[in-house]
Amino acid sequence: MPHPKIDPPSEEELPPGPLRDVTLELHVLYHAAGRPSLRRIEGDIRKTEGLRDTVTYELIRRILKGQAGPTRWEKIDAIVRVLAARANPRRDPDSEAARFLPLWTKAFDPNGEVLVAAATEVVPNARPDGPVAEQDSGLSDDGAPEDGSSAAGVPKEIRNVMALLPPKDLVSLYRNLLAEDRNGEASQLLVAIGRLCGPYKLIEVIEALRMNRLHEEGILAMRKAVESWNIWDVETLVQLFWKERWEVDALIEAISAVRSVEDVVQIIRLIRDVSPPEADALKRKFDELRDADQVEELEEALDRPVNPAFRD
């Protein structure tokens, strides 16, 4: 017995708007894939490596009817990728996911519309001649707390997108903005990545940037993290950079240039037991970049006994 097909909803069932737009685009992809059974789509999602979520056949049915309500991007991403792989002719899953990202954001996160509404496909390796200039970011450097958790100065729509998207999709969004010549918004996103990501998510973002040959952008995001994070997160970042054999020298230089003497003392002590070469490199770079009074203050602080409470 043939499996039932899902038809696009009528305008009475789903009025015009962002939700209808993304639903109809899903139907175009669904048709291109030969309108497979919903259980087959569910099975493809479960069998496909690298997807970040599963989707039941019942939820797929409701999504295709526009009845699912707010739906996590990971679920839409999974459906799009398996349908793209089934399409005849086959479509590139990464490009299709990038095309659907702005549509999904407009439908389920209206506050993010200002940021992501423009790009509809990825231009491979799209980027300006150099990294996006920090002075073009439009973000205030005043009032950013040391714990790095505040969104002070970061526009609301960017905070929403940061909370919603995993690292790989943040990089896809960044590339889309560059492809649309929206460098100011791209720079805002990059600075927000540095300020608002934790160490492990930032490492994943930097890895994705490097895979897209956006090395300078990864360094800029790292520098923004160093400026605003607490010392324990910065220490974790040093260890992760060392583990990945990344630009440890650039990270050491950023810490030496922008953190207070007290912070550098504590970071040196934190990393000395696990990464002595990095602790020594941080001390040398601080001596090179800071004035004589600060170097002397650092030396005196390092010579003082460690507070037992700090060791704990």
Per-residue pLDDT tens digits of the chain, which is 312 residues long: 466 788 999 999 989 888 899 999 999 999 999 999 999 999 999 999 888 888 999 999 999 999 887 788 888 999 999 999 999 999 999 889 888 888 887 787 544 443 433 322 322 333 333 344 333 333 333 333 333 344 556 666 676 666 667 788 888 888 888 887 888 888 888 888 888 888 888 888 998 998 999 989 999 999 999 988 888 888 888 878 877 666 778 888 899 999 999 999 988 988 887 778 888 988 999 999 999 999 999 999 998 876 554 444
Phi and psi based region of residue 148 (left: phi greater than 0; alpha: psi -120 to 50; beta: remaining): left
- Chain-centroid distance of CA 192 in Å reads 9
Angle at 271 between CA 270 and CA 274, to 5 degrees: 120
Task: Give the global pTM.
Answer: 0.54
| Closest C-alpha to 189, from 120, 118, 137, 134 | 137
Query: How many other C-beta atoms lie within 10 A of the C-beta of residue 12?
Result: 6
| Closest C-alpha to 169, from 221, 222, 101, 220 | 101
